[in-house]
Amino acid sequence: MATFLETVFSTLSRLDASSVLDILIVAAIVYGILTLIEGTTAVALVRGMITVFLLAAVLGSVFDLVVLNWLLRNSIPALLVSIPILFQPELRRAFERMGRTSHLFSRTGPNNEIVRAMEQIAVACRRLSDRKWGALMVLERETALGEYVDTGIEIDGLVSVDFLMSIFYPNSPLHDGAVVIRGDRVVAAACLLPLTENILSDQHLGTRHRAGVGITERTDSVAIIVSEETGVISLANNGRIVRNLDESKLRKVLPALFRSRAGSTWMPAWLSDRVGSTVDRRQGATKSAK
């Protein structure tokens, strides 16, 4: 014990300002990486890689396994090459957040036109819910959604209750897929979105909800989903989903989300406490589509 303490004190005595700064920078990078992959399937992947590497290192050291030790030493370069491939979605999300500099120090709220559009969206969601017409609306923020707009039919129409109702009318050719809203304009309908790889805990949540969560995992957009089966209104942001919303809640939370910094996980406390998250981060079988 005394030898261990002497080693610790000797190491601390050699630390200078540069060493402390170096340690803090590395700690910040590690913390940022862990925060980035928190709540995703990458956590299990990292845990598995670390477990295998530590187990192999311990066995190689204890039993002096020459071949295993050689394999561990030479696998590090290959591991560095494979990291961008294995963690491509997480790295993409990180670089997108770093690139959003326009609102890094600004938290100005949405303008009057966008607020009016949000009110129209809230009313439309209530009417869609009453009729149990399935709907999926994606509100663009800092990250451009051009690649998803290209998968649908471009419209470029002013957001209004009647317009949204006509799009999601069950017999409408545009009701399948997502509507992309930029500012106060509907830019496209019948758009295809990526599905989340995470499992939604509620058995009633199908492909429409998985698509709403999936687009918010890859971008900073906000997705609003109206269930065709139950009429329940849900909202997805940053890969998380809250349910059982109504018109009044949407009128409060949408401007609040657009006032928050792009890509933030921030959610009003009253909303999180009352409806909570329904994302199950464990792997499992996918739910059936609605």
Structural domains in the chain, sorted by start: 17-99 (no CATH), 112-280 (3.40.1700.10)
In whole angstroms, what is the distance from residue 167 CA to residue 289 CA? 20
Tell me the per-residue pLDDT of 79-102, one tens digit each, with 9 for 90 and over.
778 877 877 776 776 676 666 544
pLDDT interval class at 129 (50, 70, 90): very high
In this prediction, residue 269 carries a pLDDT of: 47
Q: Which of 104-113, 165-174, 175-184 has the lowest mean pLDDT?
A: 104-113
Q: Which of 10-14, 74-78, 124-128, 132-136 has the lowest mean pLDDT?
A: 10-14
Tell me the per-residue pLDDT of 220-242, one tens digit each, with 9 for 90 and over.
899 999 999 999 999 999 888 99
pLDDT interval class at 266 (50, 70, 90): very low
Phi-psi region of 228 (alpha: psi -120 to 50; beta: other; left: phi over 0): alpha
One-letter amino acid of 6: E
Is 0.75 surpassed by the pTM of this model? Answer: no
Of the chain, the percentage scoring pLDDT greater than 70 comes to 77
In whole angstroms, what is the distance from residue 240 CA to residue 135 CA? 18
Tell me the per-residue pLDDT of 238-259, one tens digit each, with 9 for 90 and over.
888 999 999 999 999 999 988 7
